[in-house]
Structure 1
Amino acid sequence: MSLIRRIDLRGADRASVDYRAAVPRAEFDVEAATHQVQPIIDAVRARGVEAIAEFSAQFDGVDSDDIAVPREAIDAALADLDPAVRAGLEESIRRLRLTSEAELEHDVTSQVADGATVTHRKVPIDRVGLYVPGGLAPLVSSVVMNVVPAQVAGVRSIALASPPQKNSGGLPESTILAACALLGVHEVYAVGGAQAIAMFAHGAGPCRPVDLVTGPGNIYVAAAKRLLRGVVGIDSEAGPTEIAVLADDSADAAFVAADLVSQAEHDPMAASVLVTDSLALADAVEAELDKQVFATRHTERILTALGGRQSGIVLVDDMDQGVDVVDAYAAEHLEIQTRDASAHAARIRNAGAIFVGPWAPVSLGDYCAGSNHVLPTAGCACHSSGLSVRAFTRSVHVVDYSRAALAEVAGHVVTLAEAEDLPGHGQAVSVRFDSERPAR
């Protein structure tokens, strides 16, 4: 029995087929989860730390009403960190900081007329709350991916939350704390799930409200973000992680299978999708999956993900159709393993991140590529971007006109104001040129 299903799109009417519907995703009903999450948000808003402590006991099995992680515990975690892990984190930080600094936008001033300028000013968010999951895997890399762009953007106040762990004395996982210390983040809270997002939005105990919340999480975190959007800014509603691999018969089946497995080990709802025009490659990848899945540490989790409706091997007639399929799918992570990978990658418009060729696996992007791994899921890559410096900045237009510059355009303003039946708008300009008023 095959570990992964096949979806055959060969011979499909390309003018009418809906490729987004042809490659289904995992069931992930955020709206349904909001009904469970709203009482959590209401409780945290009303009772603060007391409510958070109750939810930590209920969901995490931790009994503590001290949500702030002591500075000593954060520093101790770094002191005890495996030197090899520290070296890996430091290199990840270095590379991401380089790419983040390169994308940092600067103020731009346009002179639209003599004496008339509009400056596009970039302003960092004042205070942000960063969420780092700690469920099936302690995602220490997410500390790096959230903190570094926020720091480069110039955010002045950074708070971070991660679920308390029973085996860590009620603190977040020690490697997560060590990464915080390495990055100089010392406002850390042992709070997980929807209650962490509510804490960031409304404030609780020592945690002041933030202006923006970023970071991935489970369906309850996504539901909390949806409910609190408007109270606080959010990056996105992240769903289950996903990989799509576009490959032809030049691809190495062992590489492709390993990349599908690597994504499937995240979560039973993770999606692993191969799109290929090579039946021989499809067969070879299935054979590799049979070997590799049972040699991994998380076999059961991977089997569930690969066998789910969200995963599959999609057969297409040729690479042109393959490009159309993966572009419609708009994967969080897209790998291109074809003869002319760069050319195929250049045709893709919809993907969270694109990994070109056999030597750029998604795992590289998870840790040390220099790219950010907090990316849009569930097809949202067609309208949303991954986390970056831009997420932590705001744009402000600064308008500076002289009297002569305003006079030059005053007639147009009055005319347009009348066209919209807003005469007061026009009068706000006309009054400045009233002949009975002294010139300024």
Structure 2
Amino acid sequence: MSRSSRGRQRRGARRGGRERVAARGDSLVGAEFEVEVGDVAHGGFCVARHEGRVLFVRHALPGERVVARVTDGGTTSRFLRADAVQVRDASPQRREAPCPFAGPGACGGCDWQHTSAAFGRELKTRVVREQLRRLAGLEWDGAVEAVPGDVNGLRWRTRVEFSVATDRWLGLRKHRSHDVVPVDDCLIAVPEIAATGLLQEPAEPGVTGVDVAVAADREVVAVDLPVRDAGVPDVVERVGPPGEHARDFRVSARGFWQVHPGAAATFVGAALDGLEPRTGERALDLYAGVGVFTAFLADAVGPAGRVLGLEGDSRAVRDGGPNIGGLGQATLQRADIGTGDWMIPVDEMLDRVDLVVLDPPRSGAGRAVVRDVLTRGPRRAAYIACDPAALARDLAYAAECGYELVSLRAFDAFPMTHHVECVAIIEPSGAAAQ
């Protein structure tokens, strides 16, 4: 195992202040209400109501009767957050959480340890359907699919950032909190992470966290935080979609990479299947990261084609340069997508845009980016989304531009959590009938 370090990341500013506290009225934190639990909501909660007020309840399942303890909110809040601390009438889908650190007041990393991975996918399916219906007016009859590489929803996470508790032991944060729960294992992490021994000894003085990555070849890299030198090692990840040759991608141990071992290949395969690239086509890859979609698109369109990948993170662009080496038809370039003149290189380097891949951050691409891209008239676009609400909003913007949803697949790339990944394919309205 190798170790290095990297600089402290800036934490987001805390919300709060006198105006916000006043708007919440008297605190209800700690109050307990017995409630009937309704359907699942986006974010790992189920919806309940008490005396006309909505409660978003964690650690519950639809149809249960529970005692919900308020964790956030006051007498004038529009809604309350709560944990199910007692289960009076349990769902038949409930199980005892396999992880001893899951549950109310404990580690906040998992949302659905108290049910099976299969039922967790059913809950996520309901969320995707509801978000598409509510925000985009779309009906979806699909279902969230399992991703190969986990063990019944466990032992899949290849990258974990641990924080340091007050007693110097490493652990994971509570839900919506900076408090750290010391752990001696993480059941959704691959076994190699606990096998480092880092969780069996206190952190060294001055260390505020440790980021651990397990590469495709099972090499383990641990990065102490904050970084005190410039040496953050790279690791090699492998992507091999079904029916395609595998490709290796070099990425920083602190850089972005899909943490489920089957995710990258699954998403690439779904996107290419939906786009159906043709030899000689021009493709635009937005939010390209280290060039995964750029490289596979370049393979698909061949030497007569052209692919331009745009990414805002300079380190990712540097990492991605070697990843597209040997693909003369591919370019990976830095651009602040959505701000300034980011479309200038598109017009300079592509004489037309036949295909688009959009893989934006959780907040989505937004109306302006969707409009700017679709006004170039691509015959198809693949949208990879890690948030179904953002996806639904952007699909509504695409409809404003005359594009319609052709297909949508959803994947359980983060089992035991509320997160779900979607791959949507859109094309000009009526194109299929032409």
Give TM-score scaled by structure 2 length: 0.30
Bigger proportion of residues as helix: 1
Structure with larger RCO (C-alpha < 8 A, sep 6+): 1
Bigger proportion of residues as strand: 2
Give TM-score scaled by structure 1 length: 0.29
